[in-house]
Amino acid sequence: MLKRLLKRVLCCVFYMAVASGMFCYSLFRFGGTGKTNTEERYTVQLDKSGISTDKKAVSSTDNTATAGNSHSKDRYSKCLEIYNNNKELLILANRDNPLPSDYTPFLRHICDGRLEASVELYDGLTRMFADAELQGYNYWIASAYRSAERQQQLVDEDVRICMERGMSYNDSLEEVYRETMPAGCSEHQTGLALDILCSGNSVMDASQKDEPGNKWLRKNCYKYGFILRYPEDKSGITGVNFEPWHFRYVGKEAAKFIMKNDITLEEFCTAAGQ
Ligand SMILES: [Zn+2]
């Protein structure tokens, strides 16, 4: 009798251990970067060539498709929930999604009046820079809010430089749009984007990514509501080359989700059904 009771207790302990182990494992996987399991992320996303990978996700994970669908649904609801909480901060501006012509951001001066940015990012920016300074890092904001007119000027200047090198107008425009959005499509017009350079390196190029201060920003920006907007391996999705200096304010909740899941704002908005 005692033996049978002991056996039952041991059985119960065993099943509880297995169940809690599986629970922890699923939490770990859900919280990870998701790089290796496309089906755990979103069913609709774009790979580098701009082709939807949803079919690949299903065909490469046939035996886990059911679990994947429920994960995708969870992700969809989570993205939608975050999106609905922060719609204004999550506005998408790119070549396919121009800002509404009457879009007017609520701006304030930053950098001792040298630049303007959205009032929304001020507290996060102040805290981020203060914490970075404690680690010995200082920055120079090269660009914040830009009007549509200013954006057009930048495009025109860059096109002129390309054409002086012998490129045709159309080729120049295409080249320029890899780094500078057309007027109306730049998120600098929202006042929510900042080009942040490390002090001691004022060159706005890939060398920023090797600066310890830039590494700190990329690792910690989400804690203050910012995301690295144009990551190195996502230009096929964002349509913009890697810009280690360009940070976008989306609010803490969205920033954490986007950075922890290694996705872009485009992927996030698609997952939220936008
Ligand atoms: Zn920028």
Q: Which domain holds residue 6?
A: 1-29
User: Is 125 inside any structural domain?
Assistant: yes
Task: Tally the domains of the chain.
Answer: 2
Residue 243 among the catalytic residues? yes
Which pLDDT does position 116 carry in this prediction? 98
Treating both helix axes as pointing N-terminal to C-terminal, what angle do 169-176 and 148-164 enclose, rounded to 10 degrees?
130
- 92 shares its domain with 24: no
Query: Is the dihedral angle over the CA atoms 73, 76, 81, 82 positive or is it negative?
Result: positive
CA distance 221 to 246: 11
- 228 shares its domain with 92: yes
For residue 15, the CA-to-ligand 1 centroid distance in Å is 53
Among 39, 40, 243, 267, the one annotated catalytic: 243
User: Is 69 inside any structural domain?
Assistant: no
For residue 24, the CA-to-ligand 1 centroid distance in Å is 39
Which pLDDT does position 252 carry in this prediction? 97
User: Is 35 inside any structural domain?
Assistant: no
For residue 247, the CA-to-ligand 1 centroid distance in Å is 7
CA angle 260, 221, 218 (to 5 degrees): 80
For residue 187, the CA-to-ligand 1 centroid distance in Å is 8
**Per-block mean pLDDT, blocks of 10 residues, the chain (274 long):** 47 41 32 28 27 29 46 82 94 95 95 97 98 98 96 94 95 89 94 97 95 98 98 94 96 96 96 90
For residue 224, the CA-to-ligand 1 centroid distance in Å is 18
